[in-house]
Amino acid sequence: CQWQDGRPRRQRLLVVANRLPVSATRKGEDSWQLEMSVGGLVTALLGVKDFDARWIGWAGVNVPDDVGQRALTKALAEKRCIPVFLEEEIVHQYYNGYCNNILWPLFHYLSLPQEDRLATTRSFQSQFDAYKKANQMFADVVNQHYEEGDVVWCHDYHLMFLPKCLKEYNSKMKVGWFLHTPFPSSEIHRTLPSRSELLRSVIAADLVGFHTYDYARHFVSACTRILGLEGTPEGVEDQGKLTRVAAFPLGIDSERFVRAIDLHPVQEHMKVLKQRFAGRKVMLGVDRLDMIKGIPQKILAFEKFLEENPQWRDKVVLLQIAVPTRTDVPEYQKLTSQVHEIVGRINGRFGTLTAVPIHHLDRSLDFHALCALYAVTDVALVTSLRDGMNLVSYEFVACQASKKGVLILSEFAGAAQSLGAGAILVNPWNITDVAASIKYALDMPADEREKRHQHNFKHVTTHTSQEWAATFVSELNDTIVEAQLRTRQ
């Protein structure tokens, strides 16, 4: 414990992630507008309140000039954020290329189409070089702001090279790394040309965390099979140095959602939604417009349900809110047109002059509108083809204290391991199964809904993001003390 003015001082935490909690848009030479970023990582870390935290990350925008950089640094400082400025070409190769076109699909067991796979193979080395360069730039900024005793917590697949860079600066720095995506089977990871270099740099951290025990186990077997290291119940051992590897399942700031339902603006939104969809059951999907979310599969399953259940056609509506993401990556552009095409076809097929079965919005909603939507929903549909955790399913449960709606959840989301007993689990690739689950959910008797909801609500309100962060950081502190004791023996 550190002390200041006779009182315990909150531990200083440097959170390092590619994405900052706010994204910047330039409004003039030296003026910037900041808006909340969208994504599970940001949602998770916003719940981290018990530390004296600073957030280091890329501002999501190219700022080539000093005036702009100075103004943005100042604006971000008010939010306790520290920017890493990356040049456009580096962003293209590191973020669009290596992170989102190589690591992201690989970690989610998705393969690229043949022509993209060849192009990716050709550009692999230059993208990996940019990735290392970008990670080194993050390390430089961390190093400038680091004070002795700080905990440095690195996040996600963008920064797998960072633990090694930081330890090269200062071997005593307390470094943790957490992955917000799945870690795939070692058989998948070993196809990556840079497989060993990435594993070696991650294990330079003192503590390595994953959402589930399975991801942690895959990581340890990748280290044993690819690097030939020893896997122990605690983690991975390399020439006497132990890197702790463990599961730390993430949660949300559940209180924020539970309380929001009683707020006036949320109640107002709910009133409008209830009027708008009176007489119809509301089904909801909330996702980033990403191929891992299985949005086309979800919509096709809904079509099958309508096809097989004509009695439901004018009694149910699917609201799909999909915020565009990584729009410079061609695969994401293709997905957007694909989703629009399917939605248009189904609305043409089952719509009437007064109503359509699917409302699809390509945009993000503010917090109040989102909570209201969750609260009026009868059935939430989360059909990720793979997903590290999936916090949308947690948010839905937190907002359902009164309605006790049903959650249909992909068995390939990390959340299936924690909310599986209350949700209806589905294989999103099997649209017949998903269509049958939609029918089951809509017909579910109130007592079964109540039982399932209570199970999940208890989990969501007791496994929060605050608890997740506190456990990770305390384990990181303990790991370091234990390592010091071991070296003294």
Residues that bind ligand ADP (CB under 6 A): 38-40, 43, 286-288, 321, 323, 364-365, 370, 389-392, 395
The phi-psi region of residue 360 (left if phi > 0; otherwise alpha if psi is between -120 and 50; otherwise beta) is beta
Question: Residues 156, 378, 387, 395: which binds ligand G6P (CB under 6 A)?
Answer: 156
Question: Residues 12, 19, 54, 211: which binds ligand G6P (CB under 6 A)?
Answer: 19
Shortest CB 58 distance to ligand G6P, Å:
9
Specify the residue, 180 or 218, whose C-beta has the smaller distance to ligand G6P: 180
Q: How many CA atoms within 13 Å lie on the side-chain side of 483?
A: 19
How many residues belong to the site for ligand G6P (CB under 6 A)?
A: 9
Specify the residue, 181 or 254, whose C-beta has the smaller distance to ligand G6P: 181
Tokens 């995506």, residue located: 181
Residue number with the shortest CB distance to ligand G6P? Answer: 39
Residue 286 binds which entry of ligand G6P, ligand ADP, none, with Cβ cut-offs from 5 to 8 Å by kind?
ligand ADP
Specify the residue, 270 or 392, whose C-beta has the smaller distance to ligand G6P: 392
Spell 337-364 as b/e; 16+ CB within 10 A means b: eebeebbeebbeebeeeeebbbbbeeeb
DSSP code at position 158:
G
Per the structure block, which two tokens stand in for 17? 């992630």
- C-alpha 358/C-alpha 364 separation (Å) is 17
Look at residues 15, 393, 53 and name the one whose alpha carbon lies nearest to residue 178: 15
Shortest CB 95 distance to ligand G6P, Å:
7
Residue 181 binds which entry of ligand G6P, ligand ADP, none, with Cβ cut-offs from 5 to 8 Å by kind?
ligand G6P
Specify the residue, 189 or 293, whose C-beta has the smaller distance to ligand ADP: 293
248, 417 contact by CB (below 8 A): no
Kindly write down the DSSP assignment for every residue of 420-446, as one continuous string: TTTSEEE-TT-HHHHHHHHHHHHH--H
Specify the residue, 341 or 366, whose C-beta has the smaller distance to ligand ADP: 366
Residue 377 binds which entry of ligand ADP, ligand G6P, none, with Cβ cut-offs from 5 to 8 Å by kind?
none
Shortest CB 64 distance to ligand ADP, Å:
29
- C-alpha 426/C-alpha 436 separation (Å) is 10
Residue 182 sits in the site that holds ligand G6P (CB under 6 A): no
Residue number with the shortest CB distance to ligand ADP? Answer: 40
Question: In terms of residues, how long is the chain?
Answer: 489
Residue 343 binds which entry of ligand G6P, ligand ADP, none, with Cβ cut-offs from 5 to 8 Å by kind?
none
- C-alpha 289/C-alpha 363 separation (Å) is 9
Question: Residues 11, 21, 32, 40: which binds ligand G6P (CB under 6 A)?
Answer: 40
Q: How many CA atoms within 13 Å lie on the side-chain side of 202?
A: 29
Question: Residues 13, 16, 34, 41: which binds ligand G6P (CB under 6 A)?
Answer: 41
Residue 46 binds which entry of ligand G6P, ligand ADP, none, with Cβ cut-offs from 5 to 8 Å by kind?
none
Number of Cβ within a 10 Å radius of residue 258: 17
Residue 75 binds which entry of ligand G6P, ligand ADP, none, with Cβ cut-offs from 5 to 8 Å by kind?
none
- C-alpha 379/C-alpha 441 separation (Å) is 7
Specify the residue, 68 or 105, whose C-beta has the smaller distance to ligand ADP: 105
Tokens 């390092």, residue located: 16
Residues in the site for ligand G6P, rule: CB under 6 A?
A: 19, 39-41, 156, 180-181, 325-326
